[in-house]
Structures are given as C-alpha cells and as structure tokens.
Chains A and B, each alone.
Chain A
Amino acid sequence: DIQMTQSPSSLSASVGDRVTITCRASQDITYYLNWYQQKPGKAPNLLIYHASKLETGVPSRFSGSGSGTDFTFTISSLQPEDFATYYCQEYHDLLFTFGPGTKVDFK
C-alpha cells in the first residue's frame, strides 16, 4: 500500500506570508494527487486535483506542483480565511490514502 507523508505537521504564519507544504508518496503515483483544505467542524474542500490543477472557484493564490513521489502545495499570500488544516491524498491505487495533514495557524 502507498504511504503518504506531509511536512511540516504544523506551521505558524502571518497574513501575507508564502506558505509551502510538501507531500511525499512511498511510491510513484504519477500525478494522481489531491489537496484539500479542512476547517474545524467542516467537511474537506478540494482545492487541487491531478497535482496541479486548480478546482473551479478556488482562488489562484493556491497552487500545486510535482509528480512521481514528491509534491508541493503553495499559498502565495496567506489570507485570514486560509487558516486551516491541509491534506494531500493519492488516488493512484484506488485506496485513496491521505497524508496526515498540515495545520496552518496564526503566528
């Protein structure tokens, strides 16, 4: 089974900061990777699919890159509504494994 790791597990940032989260798969998943945002008490919200494709309606400050085993998620200029937990998820092997999440909070 594919294992997903994320780093960091948490980070503190300020409004306007550039935030980068990395996700690593234990084996090649080509570009079969989603990125989600989740706020407390809410269902996850899909932001990025196919590693780099922005879901419709998602602000352009969010972006994703990478392929194979190493992926990056970036928020170019952190906004107040972006404080949340972010998860990567692979869908290469139909086990849809999630990474452990990265919590982004106020510095």
Chain B
Amino acid sequence: VQLVESGGGLVQPGRSLRLSCTASGLAFGDYAMSWFRQAPGKGLEWISFIRSNNYGGTTGYAASVEGRFTISRDDSKSIAYLQMNSLKTEDTAMYYCGDSSGFYWGQGTMVTVSS
C-alpha cells in the first residue's frame, strides 16, 4: 500500500491550493480517507475526512478549516483531494493523507503560506 501526497508548495495568504493523495495497493473505494497536518515543531492535527461512497461519501472538517477547505475523492483514479481556499499563514504545515483508521499514511507534502 502506498499513499503519495502532491500539490504542496509556497503560496501567498488568501490564495488557494489543491492537494492530491494518490493511493495504490488498496481497494481505495472501500476506505474512508482523512487529511492531517503538522505545523513545524508542533503536534498532529486532523483536519478532514471523507467516507467511502458506499457509506454516502459524507465529509467532516475540523473547526480550524471548515468553510475554507473541501475534501473530495475520485475512486476511479484512487485519489483523494483537499481543496484549500483563503489560506492563512497558520495553515503552514506538512499535510498528510491517510486512511481514517490511521494505519496507512503518506509521507506528506509541505504547504507554506507566506507573502
């Protein structure tokens, strides 16, 4: 099983970025997926999940990102996305995707929000 995040980079405050999490080696459509982040030198923070479409594909968000971030999935491509809008400097972090059980994690993609 491999999860590979992509799409991170340097972005100005107020701008948008879309992260992708490409999965291989697992029946992606059967898994609920989550995004997590870790600011430099700080602890882990869960930010969003999306259930399998078998369970309605419902989503959830942490209060810190609700209304600004949107999670989605494309099971035909085995990809989970995180659309991040209205980015703030405090969104600077390593972003990880993982299955919602916590067993599978990617290696992360760094997002830096700075002018």
Chain A residues in the interface with B (C-beta under 8 A): 1, 34, 36, 38, 42-46, 49, 55, 87, 89, 91, 94-101
Contact = CB atoms under 8 A, between A and B. Distances in A.
A100 B45 CA distance: 9
A101 B44 contact: yes
B103 A55 contact: yes
A94 B45 contact: no
Interface residues of B, number: 19
Interface of A: prevailing SS: loop
Contacts of B106: 43
B60 A95 contact: yes
A101 to B, nearest CB: 5
B43 A98 contact: yes
Interface stretch (B67-75, B85-93, B94-102): B94-102
A96 B46 contact: yes
B100 A96 contact: yes
B62 A95 contact: yes
Interface in B40-87: 43-46, 49, 60, 62-63
B46 A97 contact: yes
Interface of B: 34, 43-46, 49, 60, 62-63, 96, 98, 100-103, 105-108
Contacts of B62: 95
A87 B45 CA distance: 11
A34 B44 contact: no
Give the 4 A-B CB pairs with smallest separation, nearest first. Answer: A96-B46, A43-B105, A98-B44, A101-B43
A44 B44 contact: yes
Contacts of A38: 44
Contacts of A101: 43-44
Given A44-B105, A96-B34, 16 more contacts: A34-B102, A42-B107, A43-B96, A44-B44, A44-B96, A46-B101, A46-B103, A49-B103, A55-B103, A91-B100, A91-B102, A94-B49, A95-B60, A96-B100, A98-B43, A100-B43
